[in-house]
Amino acid sequence: MNVGDWISKWSLLQPQKTAFISEDRTYTYQEVNQRTNQLCHLLLNFGVRKGDRAAVLLHNCPQYLEIYFALSKIGAILVPLNWRLAGPELEFIIKDSGCKMLIFEPEFEEVVASVRPSLNLSNGSYITVGEPHPDWSIDYETSISKQPTPEPFNNEPVGGEDPHIIMYTSGTTGIPKGAVLSHRKTFFNVLNADIIYNLSSKDITIISRPMFHSGGLLVESSPFLYKGGTIIIRKKFRPPEILDTIEKYKVTILELPATVYQFILQECDLSRYDLRSIRCYFTGGERIPITLLKEYLSRGMPLSQIFGQTEASTITFLSAEMAAKKIGSVGLPVFHGEVRIVDRSGADVKPGEVGEIIIRGPTLMSGYWNQPDLTAETIRNGWLYTGDLAKIDEEGYFYIVDREKDMYISGGENIYPAEIEKVFFTHPKMFDAGVIGVPDEKWGEVGKVYLVLKPGESMTEEEALRFLRGKVGKYKIPKYVEFLPELPKTASGKIQKFLLKEWHQQKLRSTKFEIRNNLK
Which domains can be identified in the chain, with CATH numbers? Answer: 29-159 (3.40.50.980), 408-519 (3.30.300.30)
* CA atoms of 435 and 414, how far apart (whole Å): 14
Backbone angles phi, psi at 331, to 5 degrees: 90, -150
Residue type, 417: P
Compute the Cα dihedral for 378, 365, 381, 398 and give only its sign.
Answer: positive
* pLDDT of amino acid 422: 84
pLDDT along the chain (520 residues), means of 10: 94 98 95 98 95 97 98 97 91 95 97 93 88 94 97 89 92 73 97 95 96 93 98 94 97 93 91 96 81 90 93 93 93 97 94 94 96 95 92 94 76 83 89 91 92 94 95 93 88 73 86 54
* CA atoms of 409 and 288, how far apart (whole Å): 10
CA atoms within 13 A on the CB side of 245: 24
* CA atoms of 350 and 408, how far apart (whole Å): 27
Spatial contact of 179 and 172, defined as CB atoms under 8 Å apart: no
Backbone angles phi, psi at 389, to 5 degrees: -100, 140
H helices of 213-277, in order, are: 214, 222-226, 239-249, 258-267
* CA atoms of 99 and 78, how far apart (whole Å): 9
CB atoms within 10 A of CB 96: 19
Q: Model-level pTM?
A: 0.84
| 456-463 long-range contacts, CB within 8 A, separation 24+ | 457/429, 458/429, 459/429, 459/483
